[in-house]
């Protein structure tokens, strides 16, 4: 079985977020797919089966900790693989997933637009427990699928060294910490600096056996809508400040869904022997 390793939300090797992509003729057992994800030990391994309808694929994502309902970077990686190695003339792909139909459009040679749902965010009280477990008091906190904590300190986002066991005690599947980017003195700490970054963030997922998700697309279905409303901007350039780092270009469609644009690059093609 062929497997592709893709660096997503970047056009530079060894940055962005790695995803493994497996193209299947028919489904493997859930146990086998989870074992492959554990063996890869990446934040996500994606499995695809082509459907009878043109340009439609069934897509499932597995972390080392189990199956997940939504993943942005692995969806981008799947589109990159299909459109570059299997169906090179396709401009649009539809993925049938646990989060419904997700569409990916190829905008140019290496820019892909993902159409994703937006999570409803409920503002929650900032408890002493949240402050103790994270190590700094956020100015706001919201809960969707994940917990998102907003800070007024970019330096904290860049340098945070959080405790996995403490994060597991928080509500939400993942923890996202985010701040507006406004301190130009920190630009020297931002890799692959681009102009006009609106916000920075980091995403942590120890409940999925991942300490930090390097560039989290589903996380930006929480983060980007918040900052669009806060900054009163229709288009947002977001920077994930992990060690690998990555950039997402986000906007809201008329139907309220998220449009995320990103690039991807191939790291490796391999064979899995089962």
Which positions are catalytic? 44
Q: Which residues pair with 8 in a beta bridge?
A: 17, 264
Cα 110 to Cα 100: distance, rounded to the nearest angstrom: 25
Cα 268 to Cα 20: distance, rounded to the nearest angstrom: 9
DSSP characters for the chain?
A: -EEEEEEES-SSTT-SEEEEEEEESSPPPHHHHHHHHHHHTSSEEEEEEE-SSTTEEEEEEEETTEEES--HHHHHHHHHHIIIII-TT-SEEEEEETTEEEEEEEEETTEEEEEE-----EE----HHHHHHHSS--SEEEESSSEEEEES-HHHHHH----HHHHTTSSSSSEEEEEE---GGGGGGSTT--TT--EEEEEEEGGGTEEEESS-TTTHHHHHHHHHHHHT-SEEEEEE-SSS-EEEEEEE-TTS-EEEEE-EEEEEEEE---
Residue matched to tokens 């992509």? 21
């Amino acid at each position: 079985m062929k497997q592709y390793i893709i660096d997503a939300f970047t056009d530079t090797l060894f940055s962005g977020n790695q995803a493994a992509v497996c193209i299947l003729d028919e489904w493997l057992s859930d146990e086998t797919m989870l074992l492959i994800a554990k063996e890869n030990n990446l934040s996500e391994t994606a499995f695809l089966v082509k459907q009878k309808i043109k340009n439609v694929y069934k897509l499932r994502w597995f972390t080392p900790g189990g199956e997940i309902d939504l993943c942005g970077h692995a969806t981008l990686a799947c589109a990159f693989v299909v459109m570059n190695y299997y169906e090179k003339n396709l401009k649009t792909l539809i993925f049938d997933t646990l989060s419904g139909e997700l569409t990916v459009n190829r905008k140019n040679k290496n820019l892909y637009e993902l159409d994703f749902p937006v999570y409803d965010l409920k503002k929650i009280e900032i408890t002493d427990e949240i402050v103790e477990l994270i190590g700094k008091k956020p100015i706001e906190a919201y809960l969707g699928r994940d917990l998102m904590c907003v800070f007024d300190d970019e330096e904290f986002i860049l340098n945070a060294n959080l405790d996995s066991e403490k994060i597991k005690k928080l509500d939400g599947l993942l923890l996202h910490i985010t701040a507006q980017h406004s301190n130009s003195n920190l630009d020297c700490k931002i890799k692959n600096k681009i102009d006009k970054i609106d916000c920075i963030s980091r995403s942590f997922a120890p409940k999925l056996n991942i300490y930090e998700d390097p560039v989290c697309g589903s996380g930006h279905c929480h983060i980007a809508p918040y900052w669009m409303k806060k900054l009163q901007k229709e288009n947002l350039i977001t920077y994930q400040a992990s060690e690998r780092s990555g950039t997402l270009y986000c906007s809201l469609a008329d139907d309220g869904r998220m449009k995320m644009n990103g690039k991807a690059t191939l790291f490796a093609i391999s064979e899995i022997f089962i």
